[in-house]
Amino acid sequence: MGCITAELSDNPPPPEASRLSRLQRLLSFAVVITILALGGLAGALVDHYLFTTDNAQWDPLGAYPIQKVLNTQGFLLPGDTLSVDATKCVAKSTTKPVTVDGSSEWVSLLPAGKSVANPGGVATRYPAGVIPPSVNGYQPPIPDSNGCIHARYENIPPPEVVARSTEVCNDTGLPALWKIAGKETPVKGKTVGVERLWETQPFRIACAGTGVAK
């Protein structure tokens, strides 16, 4: 019986085969990189979704409409406080008191660029049907059937605001235009909810000794 032997060749593979082999390796490498990249992107998207969802789920506050300035014609005379009527609501789905971390600042609108921070503080917002407990004989505003409180606030201008307004009067002969802006952020342990921004109507601080303006 004859014997068949394999004949080895020292000749290299044709260039076309070599190029095809390199192309296949590159394609395989590209597929692996793409899978890894998509996997990383998917992981990032999952993390973002879980983080966002976790933080966006708790939204216990409602509307915080613009606060109405009660001072005559929107002017604050030197030595006066700023009186405003404010409405702050909880969401209709809220059934328990909500602790809020609040902050605010006086913001110069004309001329722009100056802001003066007020001391921050913690308060509690109550849903409809819950009467806030009195504090040292003071009864906080009772929420209406929509879970909103309606309160009047008296705001004393900080010394920096008075000084800036006097400077504007001396430089321009016109009263400075301001507003008060702030935010309240619901907190529950380590959980932070969706904040609410609020602001007053714009108002002017009249130049000293003139009643309204120079």
Domain limits, the chain:
18-57, 68-205
Distance (Å, whole) CA 68 – CA 212? 19
Scanning the chain, the segments in alpha helix (DSSP H) are 15-56, 159-172
The pLDDT assigned to 146 comes to 97
What is the SS3 assignment for 63? coil
Instruction: State which residues of the chain have pLDDT below 70.
Output: 1-56, 209-214
Residue with token string 């235009």: 177
CA of residue 9 relative to chain centroid, distance? 74
Q: What are the residues whose beta carbons fall under 8 Å from the beta carbon of 70, sequence distance 6 or more? A: 83, 84, 85, 152
Distance (Å, whole) CA 51 – CA 213? 52
pLDDT per residue over 140-196, tens digit each?
999 999 999 999 999 999 999 999 999 999 999 999 999 999 999 999 999 999 999
Q: pTM value?
A: 0.71
The count of other CB atoms within 10 Å of the CB of residue 207 is: 22
The architecture of the domain spanning 68-205 is: Sandwich (2.60)
Q: Which of 157, 149, 159, 152 is nearest to 106 (CA)?
A: 157
Q: Which of 210, 117, 114 is nearest to 170 (CA)?
A: 210
